[in-house]
Amino acid sequence: MFQTILDIIYPVRCPICGEIVIPKGNKICKPCKDKLQYITEPRCKKCSKPIAQEEEEYCSDCERKNFHFTKGYAIWVYDEAMRRSIANFKYHNKREYAKFYIEEMLLAYGDEIKKMAPDVIVPIPLHRSKYRERGYNQAEVLACGLGKRLTIPVLSHLLVRNKKTLPQKQLSDKERLRNLQEAFMFNQTVAGRYRREINKVLLVDDIFTTGSTIEACTNELIVNGIKDINFITLCIGKGY
Ligand SMILES: [Zn+2]
Ligand SMILES: [Zn+2]
């Protein structure tokens, strides 16, 4: 009864078009789901970006840049539909879209994450001023949902973002990474309080574009003795 009332007051909205989803019980409308570009083979063996040729193993970015993470997963290509969906999720308080996103992450990669068996899940942190502004960290919402469903502990504050990064657009890859590297800090207090050894981490974020954010966080974890860093994001660019 209570749920029915909730459904009437807050019907499920489609994370793509924002309309009320019919039939009830679905999390997205069928035509919108059909529009999404799910990542399939051929894809990069390291970051999972779609690549043009079956014969290639890695995307041009993974070939060129010496990324230090072990492996990455993403569900969709970062196209216009997903750009809008994620912008609403992040900036316009559409936290409820996480239900759909998490369901899709589990469908696509739940088994692989279980096999990977990370010790902990860690969201990419937000600077606290941004956190105050938005009231939540979208990566943390995703991480907590995954952790709960997979029964893997989530350490939301193992990484801290301690300075606001300069606008990244005009920077070269190297400058971008240096700029970001200084922004993330390993939180010894959180690590100490956790008490168990952390060898394998799954980082969670909404998008992977140039990879500099994931790389900066990976390096910060490696410097602090964690060797095996993996990531999962909702979206990723194309590798060609
Ligand atoms: Zn829709
Ligand atoms: Zn790649």
Statement: residue 177 has pLDDT above 90? no
Chain mean pLDDT for the chain: 92
- C-alpha 84/C-alpha 91 separation (Å) is 10
Taking only the tens place, the pLDDT of each residue in 79-138 is 999 999 999 999 999 999 999 999 999 999 999 999 999 999 999 999 999 999 999 999
**What average pLDDT does the segment 229-233 reach?**
98
Rg (CA), the chain: 18
**Fold (topology level) of 10-236:** Rossmann fold (3.40.50)
Average pLDDT in the 30-52 region?
Answer: 94
Percent of the chain with pLDDT over 90: 80
Nearest ligand, CA 34: 1
C-beta of residue 208 within 8 angstroms of C-beta of residue 86:
no
Q: How far is CA 21 from CA 15, 28, 58, 74, 93, in A?
A: 9, 6, 38, 25, 18
pLDDT of residue 88: 97
Please give the pLDDT value at position 164.
64
Whether residue 73 has pLDDT greater than 90: yes
Mean pLDDT of 169-178: 78
Q: What is the pLDDT of residues 44-66, one digit of tens each?
A: 999 999 998 878 899 999 999 99
Span from the CA of 89 to the centroid of ligand 2 (angstroms): 26
Whether residue 24 is predicted with pLDDT greater than 80 in this model: the reply is: yes
Spatial CA neighbour of 48 closest among 24, 69, 18, 79: 69
Considering every ligand atom shown, identify the ligand nearest to the alpha carbon of residue 84 and give its number: 1
Instruction: Output 114 or 166, whichever has higher pLDDT.
Output: 114
Per-residue pLDDT, 87 = 97
Whole-number Å distance, alpha carbon 140 to ligand 1 midpoint, is: 25
Q: How far is the CA of 79 from the centre of ligand 1 (A)?
A: 15
CA of 41 to the centre of ligand 2 (A): 13
Q: Can you give the pTM of this predicted structure? A: 0.93
- Residue 10: its pLDDT value, please? 81
pLDDT digits (tens, 9 = 90+) for 123-134: 999 999 999 999
pLDDT at 89: 97
Q: Residue 47 class from Cβ within 10 Å (0-12 exposed, 13-18 middle, 19+ buried)?
A: buried
